[in-house]
Amino acid sequence: MKTPQLTFFAIFMIALVALGQSAPKADNDLPPGSPQLIQPEELVKTIQSTSGPKPVLLYVGPHLFYAQAHIPGAEYMGPTAKPEGMDKLRVRAKSLPHDGLVVIYCGCCPWDHCPNIRPAYHELEKMGFTKLRVLYLANSFGTNWVDKGYSVAKGD
Amino acid sequence: MRKLGLIIAALAVAFGIFAVVRQRHARTGTLTISITDKQALAPLAPELLLTDLSGKTFSTSSLKGKVVVVNFWAAWCTPCTEEVPTFIGLQQKYQSQGLQTIGISIDDADGDLRDFYRRLRMNYPVVAGSQKVAEEYGGILGLPTTFIIGRDGRIQKKLTGSTDFAVLEKEVVAQLAASFL
């Protein structure tokens, strides 16, 4: 192999490795079964429980879904894949006790592809929330919450 | 003798019933209606006035007689965008048989949506969705969500989550084959 070809091959391999490392790892980040996740039925029990503190529920998806149906008491932050949503989440999070139970959820699209939930989780984790849980909605809020018959509220 | 009379009477009644059933069946056959009970009971799709990205306004009621695939999607939703080339292919394949696909985008920035539409050379109308449109379809609480509407204007199938195109195409073909007069 000639030297220019070798150089090109080496650059190509380095670029390939670098790309592999910088590519989003949605499937490996918060995979189903992670301890940070909370299942819908577990959250329902926590909300309905008469003992213990109630979780702060933060919704980090699009407004159009929230307006149609959301978990009663959940606060609208907006899609955290967008700067406006992330800013709103940061501001709200600052006013919350960092050792309290906070549950974030989205459910805009299938779990592995949700563009909002991971940025929101990592931001709150970075801010030092110690009891932070993420509602696991495998398919969507519609399929894994509304269709299961769990209670919802409408509007803003 | 009396017994024979009873047998003849019973045979006459049976023949009569057979003739009536046969006649009804033949009448239905001339109308070429092949509506199953399930299809007839399916809910009617909402009649909406929609404006696509080119500014063209159309009524969904004008699509009666066609098989309509309504895909709720978004340019920010990875599984949705991955599906768009397949929807483009299906529209191309079945357009001449009466398929009309409509994309309804959810929460997209106008620029992002138009850019995606142009880049992918989408061959079906795309409309910016609203809460009203979502609620008219019974509530859209996750993407992608796709409806298959038969030629009679009834919602024959709803697919939620990443689309199983084998299921979708099979249903589209079945609906295209069904004729409603």
Residues B20 and B103 in one domain: no
Asked if A64's CB is within 8 angstroms of B139's CB, the reply is no
| Residue B25 structural domain | 2-32
Rounded mean pLDDT, A125-145: 98
- Cβ distance A113 to A100 under 8 Å? no
Residue with tokens 């519609």: A142
ipTM (interface pTM): 0.81
The CATH number given to whatever domain includes residue A89 is 3.40.250.10
Query: Residue A81 pLDDT more than 70?
Result: yes
A residues 53..92 contacting B (CB < 8 A): 62-65, 67-69, 79, 81
Radius of gyration of the CA atoms of chain B, in A = 23
Residue at A154 is within a domain: no
Kindly indicate the confidence band of residue B41, based on its pLDDT and cuts at 50, 70 and 90.
Answer: confident
Among chain A residues, CA nearest to B129: A64
Share of chain A above pLDDT 90, in %: 79
Rounded mean pLDDT, B33-42: 61
Rounded mean pLDDT, B155-165: 96
Residues B11 and B80 in one domain: no
Q: Which residues of B touch A63 (CB under 8 A)?
A: 107
A115 interface with B at CB cutoff 8 Å: yes
Phi first, then psi: what are they for B72, rounded to 5°?
A: -85, 125
**Of B53, B63, B55, B68, nearest in space to B121 by CA:** B53
Q: Which residues of B touch A146 (CB under 8 A)?
A: 139, 141
Query: Residue A155 pLDDT more than 70?
Result: yes
Query: Residue B21 pLDDT more than 70?
Result: no
Residues B49 and B129 in one domain: yes
Among chain B residues, CA nearest to A110: B161
Token duo for residue A117: 């939930």
Query: Residue B159 pLDDT more than 60?
Result: yes
pTM of the model: 0.80
The predicted structure's pLDDT at residue B181:
53
A19 interface with B at CB cutoff 8 Å: no
The predicted structure's pLDDT at residue A13:
54
Which among B76, B129, B142 is the nearest to A140, CB-wise? Answer: B142
The angle at the Cα of B119, spanning B117 to B120, to the nearest 5 degrees, equals 70
Q: Which residues of A touch B146 (CB under 8 A)?
A: none
* Range with the largest mean pLDDT of A36-45, B4-13, B172-181: A36-45
| Residue A95 structural domain | 27-148
Rounded mean pLDDT, B121-131: 97
The CATH number given to whatever domain includes residue B49 is 3.40.30.10
The nearest CA of chain B is from the CA of A110 a distance in Å of: 6
The predicted structure's pLDDT at residue B25:
43
Residue at B84 is within a domain: yes
A141 interface with B at CB cutoff 8 Å: yes
Number of structural domains found in chain B: 2
The predicted structure's pLDDT at residue A17:
47
Rounded mean pLDDT, B80-103: 98
Task: Tell me which DSSP letter residue B44 carries.
Answer: B
Residues 6+ apart with CB under 8 A from A81: A115, A116, A119, B76
Residue at A13 is within a domain: no
Q: Which residues of B touch A65 (CB under 8 A)?
A: 106, 140-142
Residues B22 and B57 in one domain: no
Residue at A7 is within a domain: no
Range with the poorest average pLDDT among A20-34, B4-18, B107-121: B4-18
Q: How far apart are CA A24 and CA A18, in angstroms?
A: 12
Which among B129, B131, B141 is the nearest to A142, CB-wise? Answer: B141
Rounded mean pLDDT, A113-140: 98
Query: Residue B56 pLDDT more than 90?
Result: yes
Share of chain B above pLDDT 70, in %: 77
Kindly indicate the confidence band of residue A28, based on its pLDDT and cuts at 50, 70 and 90.
Answer: confident
The nearest CA of chain B is from the CA of A142 a distance in Å of: 5
Residue at B39 is within a domain: no
Asked if A146's CB is within 8 angstroms of B160's CB, the reply is no
Asked if A67's CB is within 8 angstroms of B107's CB, the reply is no
Kindly indicate the confidence band of residue A52, based on its pLDDT and cuts at 50, 70 and 90.
Answer: confident
Asked if A79's CB is within 8 angstroms of B141's CB, the reply is no
Q: How far apart are CA A126 and CA A37, in angstroms?
A: 17
The nearest CA of chain B is from the CA of A101 a distance in Å of: 25
Rounded mean pLDDT, B120-144: 97
Query: Residue B5 pLDDT more than 70?
Result: no
